Structure 1
């Protein structure tokens, strides 16, 4: 059973996508899935995502025929999600290693339906 579905919309983020995908790899677990939604990117993002689908454990790539925007891309991901829990990450963001396992552990320890966390804005790359 899939414990966590991570929905990641991508649109023309060729410069940032490798860092995003590396951070997902540092958070991968057998029971996590990463739904990568390409919202009709016109740069090198589709090629980066195709490689990630082959190399990132738990990755599922979904491509839009037309750009629908962030909300549409997230909804596409929700429709494909199979996890007990659901979260979002933007295609130009990244996470610290082990972030998602800690997030799931906190949800289960607290016995709550959802968890809100703060973020830290970084000006450097991972």
Structure 2
């Protein structure tokens, strides 16, 4: 079996129920050419070592998808875990998918279509917290802006107005945006983002060219925001976009990264540069 065009990379720790749910979403996708790599750093038994998770892994394999389940210890922080996963991939595209995100059917195909047409560094589906469906926040939707064509490179810092786009992804805002747009079945559109959390499809070569997550060596073990930093770098050089409808549902479980006093952005500068 040759390398698939797309690999789904899932870092996981202490989330057996959530990981099984995440794998079930992947098993229901209609895209044929993708593989799954799970890297576990649980304190005790691996998150994938449950009947439910193993059943979903078998279903994925039955449908023709390669699945690799492995452990990677000791934990050295999320940036290192992501760097490890990226180092194991050789596919054209890599989807970093958090272990507490369920994808509705068709989401993976939509993301693959979007990055192929847009030819940017990444496309992301912001996770939706469906417990907030009745919590409408129109003021947080003000930064919404559609990309009229292919995304252009943007250098975004905390001081820029574009940074405020992060509010687009709070609570159930992605759901409410999609409802307002009234997209027809099968349609999607790209919009401008600061970054996207939880479900991001990269052009792997473009991610590697901007350093990937190799900055993990400069961070303490307990940190957050490593995905933000990587996306800022990719976006500055190649452009990036969010896409709607999202199709990514956050399971709203407690975080497994409780210590967030250190932001990667504060330790390692975005380091914008061009070829």
Instruction: Name which of structure 1's ranges 101-110 and 114-123 shifts more when overlaid on structure 2.
Output: 114-123
RMSD of aligned C-alpha atoms? 2.4
Tell me the equivalent position of 2:113: 105
Structure exhibiting the larger radius of gyration computed from Cα positions:
2
Distance in 2 of aligned mates of 1:86 and 1:20: 16
TM-score normalised according to structure 1 size:
0.81
Tell me the equivalent position of 1:8: 10
Structure 2 residues not aligned, in runs of 5+: 132-249, 252-275
Tell me the equivalent position of 2:81: 73
SS at match of 1:16: helix
Distance in 1 of aligned mates of 2:124 and 2:18: 24
Counterpart pick for 1:61 among 60, 69, 84: 69
Instruction: Name which of structure 1's ranges 112-121 and 88-97 shifts more when overlaid on structure 2.
Output: 112-121
1:31-53 residue CA offsets vs partner (Å, 9 max, x unmatched): 21111111144246141355554
Tell me the equivalent position of 2:24: 22
Structure 1 residues not aligned, in runs of 5+: none
Deviation at 1:119, TM superposition (A): 2.8
Deviation at 1:15, TM superposition (A): 2.4
Are the counterparts in 1 of residues 19 and 48 from structure 2 also a CA contact under 8 Å?
no
Counterpart pick for 1:86 among 74, 79, 94: 94
Larger RCO, structure (CA 8 Å, separation 6 or more): 1
SS at match of 2:20: helix
Distance in 1 of aligned mates of 2:87 and 2:30: 21
1:29-68 maps to which residues of 2 (within 5 A)? 29-43=31-45, 45-48=47-50, 52-56=56-60, 57-68=65-76
Matched residue count: 125
Q: 1:40 to 1:66 in 2, by over 3 A?
A: farther
1:5-31 residue CA offsets vs partner (Å, 9 max, x unmatched): 211011000121211110111226442
